[in-house]
Amino acid sequence: MSATCSLCDSGYAPNADKTGCEVCLASTYSISGDATCRICNVTEGLVSSSPGSSQCSYCGPGYRADNNTNSCVACAPSKYSVGGSNNCIDCDDNEVSPSGASSCSGCAPGSIPVDNICTECPPSTFAAFGATTCSPCDQPGEYSTSPGSPYCSSALPGTTPNDNRTNAINCAAGTKSTDGTSCTPCDGPGEYSPPGASSCSNALPGTIPNDS
């Protein structure tokens, strides 16, 4: 009787002398009838972690194909992947991401990334959306009272920022502030003011300003 040829099962391929079937190694695969084991293309996010695979596994969003372990590996924090690749992409400087992320996200206004964590800016500073650093409230009349300020506040007339730029305080009696930038003395003839004044008052006839 004459011998007949057989097809190797999926996950196997003929050996070198065509006398039997050999299992496909990890990182390769075959379907029944293939002459050789095919390589999974890690650059396209394809892997096979076990010998005898009949197909490659696809590494989806948040993962990359690892050539050393022949498996899908989660992207590290501050990186992301849309899938189908052997690389994870770094987030921009103004973005953060957890492990296994498919995208990066910006911090909310008033906070910035610090070691991949959105961290609130301290009082006297602010941060707009997408900022990488907290900016000082250092323009005339500016201050911010709370952590995580998305913008600086402006002192109202009759007040001025304190030395730390963390709040607005009333101008002292005998001074005024017309625009919230500084307190200036009421030093004109007959002028005076109570605390928090936006303008100086004039003493009525028969009166004079006190010394305090």
Looking at the chain, how many residues does it have? 212
pLDDT of residue 1: 45
pLDDT of residue 154: 97
**What is the per-residue pLDDT across 148-199, written as a single tens digit (0 to 9) for each?**
999 999 999 999 999 999 999 999 999 999 999 999 999 999 899 999 999 9
- Distance between CA 174 and CA 1 in Å, rounded? 122
pLDDT of residue 203: 82
* Confidence (pTM): 0.75
pLDDT of residue 5: 86
Backbone angles phi, psi at 30, to 5 degrees: -155, 160
| In the block, residue with structure tokens 């006839």 | 205
* Cα 194 to chain centroid, rounded: 48
Backbone angles phi, psi at 71, to 5 degrees: -145, 170
pLDDT of residue 212: 58
Judged by DSSP in three states, 192 sits in strand
pLDDT of residue 210: 80
- Distance between CA 37 and CA 128 in Å, rounded? 55
Q: Which DSSP state fits 82?
A: -
Q: Which DSSP state fits 63?
A: E
pLDDT averaged per 10 residues in sequence order, the chain, 212 residues: 80 92 95 94 95 96 96 97 97 97 97 97 97 97 97 97 97 95 93 94 79 64
Tell me the CA distances in angstroms from 144 to 28, 121, 125, 167, 208, one per residue in order: 60, 10, 6, 6, 39
